[in-house]
Chains A and B, each alone.
Chain A
Amino acid sequence: MSNANDPAIAVRGLQKRFGDLEALAGIDFEVAPATVFGLLGPNGAGKTTAVRILTTILEPDGGTAEVLGFDVVRDPERVRLRIGLAGQAATVDPNLTGRENLRLVGRLSQRPRPWIEQRAAELLENFDLTQAADRPIRTYSGGMRRRLDVAAALVGRPPVLFLDEPTTGLDLPSRNTLWDTIRDLVAEGTTVLLTTQYLEEADRLAEQIAVVDLGRVIAEGTPARLKAQLGSTVIEFAMSDEMDAERAVGALSRQRAEAEREGSTIRVPTTEGPRSLMEMLRTLDAEGLYPSSLTVREPSLDDVFLRLTGHHAEPAVEAGSEQPVPVGGAA
């Protein structure tokens, strides 16, 4: 059994391969009890594979994974009694009502019946689904389904919760509600493993983040540490051509800014946005270089990747098509 200080989730050298594809190339991480751990990475990084192994759906090819001290391969039954899972697809039965879905998951989680009824009512209330509670799920909107899916993961009040991209497809209010729910759960002692493609989400919720790429952990730390590495603001200059861009990188480097060029675009991560922006503009002006456009934004997952791996988060991201980081309240 586990002590209070033991990690709630411990992953060591986890490997999984699907044919030629190495989904997990030996990853390690630990999640402290009553914290949120963020697995951050693009599609295909191996996040979902890690979650499926930790939730006993898949068996690993190598390495070990423990949840609350129970090995997911040797002791899957004990693991399943202690976890909740909300997967990427909204996995609820479309023909059952919201309440019936929660009841089904509760019963299959072996929780006592009167307790399940109370718990279901409470979750429907919390996720703003009371009105729709007794309607079949197929009449729900995408966001409502997603909320019910997360509610289903919570029915058994599991001490460890896996949320695989829980806010994908959620509108802003629903997303904020879900973030609040996660914080409340953690305050009550729940351990949460969250996968996300959004740096902002990991930043807001997670005490600890592991950045995964091609089945490996390529960076790990607190959001503050990762951000300090990255700069909290990214300034992008679009120059008229690559030659100008190259000259601009040279000029900015002399000013101690870590400018990176890609095509005719220059990207500069910085920790003090407005001031360094003014300095940079003065530098460029002095060189007679004039950006054709200018963007100031929070760093996105793509910036993290570019910084850590030298390649984009998605193999073929077209300029402008990348998922913008949702900009919310406090930055």
Chain B
Amino acid sequence: MSQAAVAIPIPAERQGWSRFTGFVADSVAMLTRNIITLRRVPQLLVFSTIQPVIFVLLFVYVFGGAVGNATGLPYIDFLVPGIFVQMSVFGAMGTAIGLASDVKSGLLERFHALPMARSAVLAGRTSADVVRNVFVILLVSGVAMLIGFRVQTNVFGYVGGIALVLLFGYALSWVFAGVGLAVKDPETAQAAAFPIMAPLVFASTVFVPANLMAPWLQPFAEHQPVSVVASAARALMLGTPNNGYVLQALLWIVGIIAVAAPLAVRRFRQAI
């Protein structure tokens, strides 16, 4: 058997600036891998393309009539920023499932024996979620505009709203990275993540304004982070009253990352 490839010198270990460029290169390699996976696994592809579109159509045409008038806006306008937030929350589960699979399959162990930046595994994973969310948001925007969604402010408000939602999804990816690394099994990760997400998404102002809910639920539904981000995105995209939502949303994002990222990194170190 021939080993034709010329011998190459062993690369020098990274120091100083090359540690950073190396981290970026490794993260891009991991991101590329995760994006390929996203494209190639039918469940993930359906989850990030068909499902959000169905949600938009379902809510607009089935539930929209019932709640539409209570929002003070055309229901589709109210709904779309909410759908963006909902997708970014559900999508963060991908990080939990992906990392749990990597632990279970032993792939993480192989990564540990490679001269790569450790942090690139997490960075590549969480940034893959951002890329997926950008794709989903563009797709949903397209469909929504076809059936009547209109940005009420301007392009800056729209882009700003999207950026806020993406940041929120990114923050949640760190939460779910910790979950995935803790449970170490993709099915368990999914089972563990869903009960956290479902109440946050459904007991929120994502689909329905809080004043239509049971009175005891209203304070929670108004002020929990998913609602805050949805309200902030609406303020930016539709010009609804801000009431400090944007600032609150940013604080939530910073707070979640500050707590969840160190926990996830610690879990990552212990995952082997």
Interface residues of A (CB under 8 A from B): 52, 55-58, 77-78, 80-83, 85, 87, 89, 91-96, 100, 104-105, 107-112, 115, 118-119, 122, 126, 136, 152, 157, 159, 177, 180-181, 184-185, 188
> A57-B112, A77-B14 given as contacts; is B105 within 8 A of A94 (CB)?
yes
Q: List 14 A-B contacts (CB under 8 A).
A: A55-B112, A80-B115, A81-B11, A85-B113, A87-B110, A91-B109, A100-B36, A108-B29, A108-B120, A109-B115, A122-B5, A126-B3, A157-B7, A159-B10
Is the beta-carbon distance between B115 and A110 smaller than 8 angstroms?
Answer: yes
Is the beta-carbon distance between A91 and B41 smaller than 8 angstroms?
Answer: no
Is the beta-carbon distance between B8 and A115 smaller than 8 angstroms?
Answer: yes
Q: Which residue of chain A has its CB nearest to the CB of B115?
A: A80
Contact partner of B105 (CB less than 8 A), chosen from A91, A112, A188, is: A91
Q: Which residues of A lie under 8 Å from residue B129 when comparing CB positions?
A: none
Is the beta-carbon distance between A107 and B25 smaller than 8 angstroms?
Answer: yes
Contact partner of B33 (CB less than 8 A), chosen from A52, A83, A89, A104, is: A104
Flag whether B68 is at the interface (Cβ < 8 A): no
**Interface residue ranges of B1-54 to A (CB < 8 Å):** 1-8, 10-11, 13-14, 22, 25-26, 29, 32-33, 36-37, 40-41
Is the beta-carbon distance between B113 and A56 smaller than 8 angstroms?
Answer: yes
Q: Mark B113-151, 1 if CB is under 8 A from A, else 0.
A: 111100010000000000000000000000000000000
Interface SS majority for chain B: loop
Most buried by B among A55, A104, A105: A104
A81 to B8 CA separation, bound complex (whole angstroms):
12
A180 to B1 CA separation, bound complex (whole angstroms):
7
Q: Which residues of A lie under 8 Å from residue B111 when comparing CB positions?
A: 108
Is the beta-carbon distance between A89 and B10 smaller than 8 angstroms?
Answer: no
A161 to B107 CA separation, bound complex (whole angstroms):
18
Is the beta-carbon distance between B36 and A89 smaller than 8 angstroms?
Answer: no
Q: Which residues of A lie under 8 Å from residue B25 when comparing CB positions?
A: 107
Range for the number of chain B residues in contact with chain A: 35 or more
A322 to chain B, nearest CB (A): 27
A118 to B33 CA separation, bound complex (whole angstroms):
20
A189 to chain B, nearest CB (A): 9
Interface residues of B (CB under 8 A from A): 1-8, 10-11, 13-14, 22, 25-26, 29, 32-33, 36-37, 40-41, 105-107, 109-116, 120, 272
The 9 closest A-B CB pairs, nearest first, are: A80-B115, A91-B106, A108-B116, A89-B106, A55-B113, A95-B37, A91-B110, A119-B5, A77-B13
> A82-B10, A93-B33, A112-B8 given as contacts; is B1 within 8 A of A57 (CB)?
no
Q: Which residue of chain B has its CB nearest to the CB of A83?
A: B113
A108 to B28 CA separation, bound complex (whole angstroms):
10
Q: Which residue of chain A has its CB nearest to the CB of B4?
A: A122
> A89-B105, A91-B106 given as contacts; is B114 within 8 A of A80 (CB)?
yes
Is the beta-carbon distance between B5 and A96 smaller than 8 angstroms?
Answer: no
Is the beta-carbon distance between B3 and A188 smaller than 8 angstroms?
Answer: yes
Q: Which residues of A lie under 8 Å from residue B26 when comparing CB positions?
A: 107-108
Q: Which residues of A lie under 8 Å from residue B110 when comparing CB positions?
A: 85, 87, 91, 105, 152
Q: Which residues of A lie under 8 Å from residue B7 when comparing CB positions?
A: 157
Q: Kindly list 19 other residue pairs between chains A and B, CB separation below 8 angstroms, not including A77-B14, A95-B37, A104-B33.
A: A55-B112, A81-B11, A87-B110, A93-B33, A93-B107, A95-B36, A95-B40, A104-B29, A104-B32, A108-B26, A108-B114, A109-B116, A110-B116, A122-B4, A126-B3, A136-B40, A177-B1, A181-B1, A184-B3
Is the beta-carbon distance between B115 and A77 smaller than 8 angstroms?
Answer: yes
A78 to chain B, nearest CB (A): 5
Is the beta-carbon distance between B107 and A111 smaller than 8 angstroms?
Answer: no
Contact partner of B41 (CB less than 8 A), chosen from A87, A95, A152, A185, is: A95
A110 to B116 CA separation, bound complex (whole angstroms):
8
Is the beta-carbon distance between B112 and A122 smaller than 8 angstroms?
Answer: no
Q: Which residues of A lie under 8 Å from residue B13 when comparing CB positions?
A: 77-78, 81
A180 to B3 CA separation, bound complex (whole angstroms):
12
B266 to chain A, nearest CB (A): 16
A187 to chain B, nearest CB (A): 9
Q: Which residues of B lie under 8 Å from residue A92 when comparing CB positions?
A: 107
B252 to chain A, nearest CB (A): 33
B102 to chain A, nearest CB (A): 8
A147 to chain B, nearest CB (A): 12
> A81-B11, A81-B115, A110-B115 given as contacts; is B106 within 8 A of A184 (CB)?
no
Contact partner of A111 (CB less than 8 A), chosen from B8, B22, B40, B120, is: B8
Q: Which residue of chain B has its CB nearest to the CB of A110?
A: B11
Most buried by A among B2, B11, B109, B113: B113
A273 to B26 CA separation, bound complex (whole angstroms):
58
A89 to B107 CA separation, bound complex (whole angstroms):
9
> A91-B107, A95-B40, A100-B33 given as contacts; is B113 within 8 A of A57 (CB)?
yes
A65 to chain B, nearest CB (A): 13
Q: Which residues of A lie under 8 Å from residue B4 when comparing CB positions?
A: 118, 122
Is the beta-carbon distance between A57 and B272 smaller than 8 angstroms?
Answer: yes
A56 to chain B, nearest CB (A): 6
Q: Which residues of A lie under 8 Å from residue B116 when comparing CB positions?
A: 108-110
Contact partner of A126 (CB less than 8 A), chosen from B2, B6, B106, is: B2
A146 to chain B, nearest CB (A): 13
Is the beta-carbon distance between A185 and B3 smaller than 8 angstroms?
Answer: yes
Is the beta-carbon distance between A96 and B36 smaller than 8 angstroms?
Answer: yes
A107 to chain B, nearest CB (A): 4
